[in-house]
Amino acid sequence: MKTGTGTQLHGLLQQVEQRQGELIELVERLIRFPTPSPPARNTEDAQAFIAAFLAEQGFDIDKWDIYPGDPNVVGVLRGSAPEEYKSLIINGHVDVAEVSPDEAWETSPFSPIVRDGVITGRGAADMKAGLAGALFAVKLLHEAGIQLPGDLTVQSVIGEEVGEAGTLECCKRGYTADFAVVVDTSDLHIQGQGGVITGWITLKSKQTFHDATRKSMIHAGGKLFGANTIEKMMKVIQGLQDLERHWAVLKSYPGCAPGTNTINPAVIEGGRHAAFIADECRLWITVHFYPNETHEQVAKEIEEHISFVAAGDVWLRENPPIFTWGGSSMIEDRGEIFPALEVDPLHPAIQTLMGAHASIHNEPAIVDVSPTVTDGGWFGDAGIPAAIYGPGDLNNAHAVNEQVSIRQVVDFTKVLLQFIYEWGHTRKQPD
């Protein structure tokens, strides 16, 4: 790094420390926008604020509705030499976890408290502190009159909490870059993630039977070929448990705890009322899989295994399970997909981010795998190298009296500022 460049960056990093009061006020401002999801459809005001903020920093703004009242905002800052220098996407979601009326918050979840070195409020850790840090970093760059050679894109998206994938909509709209950072909750670890897909398994009888016919279905000589779908779903659940244990023994991934790949029977629905034999039963499952797997792959494994279970049952052979996978919203169609994301520690952007972290913290960065999921997988799915890196920890995400460390927010903003600066000054390799 040239001396002049190093001096310029050092001055910016000092400003983060000196002006941390402004940074914390920005976190508070974002928390005050009540954007819980569900119910969702409530991010318009927050997104208008973010769009205006980015416009003040010289970004071209693209704002469009994903759902009524829930727009995406993308700001693009054109570089001075984008053909020669690396481009970057910074991504975060503006929706926050739902709040139940009976939760014991010290004050309103959307009235932030700054005290004892932490900021408390819904979204503090997940993930308005990350968004605020990103916005503050680009503000400092703008105020210093710094024009990056590479393009910089900032995405404030909706729907992450309920699988509505505002990030996917950005990818569909054509936004791309040489690298993306998702500034979601990671406790300042550089992370990839496993994936999640939900699915419905449905058993449906071809006929409907009165409750009084049960004796003819289950006792010798009854000669009535029928079944209670709730009882038959017990065999499906047992088959899922067997497959889950099989996966736990035979599958693993570095950085993931053993048995991280799970099949959770989350919701069961079935039957009409007590005068009927249950002629339909639906099981909603949540499947976690490893970073090197795809949701199509694990869905196929489950279908194949349950088909063998069904083949061993005389009624299920004639009435095989019906599978419905994924969905675009836990609110609209009761389904979601979060693709997995693998992180290559040797990728130049990861090396640059690791270097920025080490420079600010005076200790090596931790590169590992998130135990949860974020929108980061959509970048990997779109062929854009990416990583998760943000303030806050999962013990606070979605928690009552959710909070984030002020020190961590300040340090995160420094690291991100240095990374934006250095990556935006990184030359592209010739083809």
From first CA to last CA, the distance across the chain in angstroms is 24
- For the chain, where do the domains classified as CATH 3.30.70.360 start and end? 195-325
**For residue range 57-86, what is the model confidence (pLDDT) as tens digits?**
999 999 999 999 999 999 999 999 999 999
195 close to 338: Cβ distance less than 8 angstroms: yes
- Residue 64's pLDDT is what? 98
Q: How far apart are CA 391 and CA 189, in angstroms?
A: 9
Using the predicted structure, report yes or no on whether residue 35 has a pLDDT greater than 80: yes
CA distances from 54 to 49, 120, 178, 383 (A): 9, 25, 21, 26
Catalytic entry in 28, 70, 95, 393: 95
160 in active site: yes
Residue 421 pLDDT level (bands cut at 50, 70, 90): very high
Catalytic entry in 70, 126, 151, 160: 160
Average confidence (pLDDT) over 112-125: 98
Query: β-strand 367-370 against 190-193: which pairing, if any?
Result: parallel
**For residue range 253-304, what is the model confidence (pLDDT) as tens digits?**
999 999 999 999 999 999 999 999 999 999 999 999 999 999 999 999 999 9
- DSSP string covering 243-255, please? HHHHHHHH---TT
Q: Which residues contact 128 (CB under 8 A, 6 or more apart)?
A: 27, 30, 31, 94, 96
Q: Which residues contact 224 (CB under 8 A, 6 or more apart)?
A: 209, 213, 216, 217
Average confidence (pLDDT) over 95-100: 97
The per-residue pLDDT of the chain, averaged, comes to 96
pTM for this entry: 0.94
CATH of 195-325, one of 3.40.50.1440, 3.30.70.360, 3.10.560.10, 2.30.30.100: 3.30.70.360
- For the chain, where do the domains classified as CATH 3.40.630.10 start and end? 3-193+341-424
Using the predicted structure, report yes or no on whether residue 195 has a pLDDT greater than 70: yes
Q: How far apart are CA 330 and CA 147, in angstroms?
A: 41
- Residue 405's pLDDT is what? 98
Q: What angle do CA 188, 156, 260 make, to 5 degrees?
A: 45
- Residue 430's pLDDT is what? 76
Q: Which residues contact 370 (CB under 8 A, 6 or more apart)?
A: 186, 189, 191, 192, 193, 194, 388
Using the predicted structure, report yes or no on whether residue 6 has a pLDDT greater than 80: no
Residue 314 pLDDT level (bands cut at 50, 70, 90): very high
Q: What's the fold here for domain 3-193+341-424?
A: Aminopeptidase (3.40.630)
70 in active site: no
Category of 327 on φ-ψ map: left (φ > 0), alpha (ψ -120 to 50) or beta: left
Average confidence (pLDDT) over 319-343: 97
The four Cα atoms 92, 93, 94, 97 give a dihedral, to 10 degrees, of -130
Using the predicted structure, report yes or no on whether residue 110 has a pLDDT greater than 70: yes
- HSE (CB half, 13 Å, CA atoms) of 374? 32
**For residue range 124-159, what is the model confidence (pLDDT) as tens digits?**
999 999 999 999 999 999 999 999 999 999 999 999
Can you read off the two tokens belonging to residue 56? 């003040």
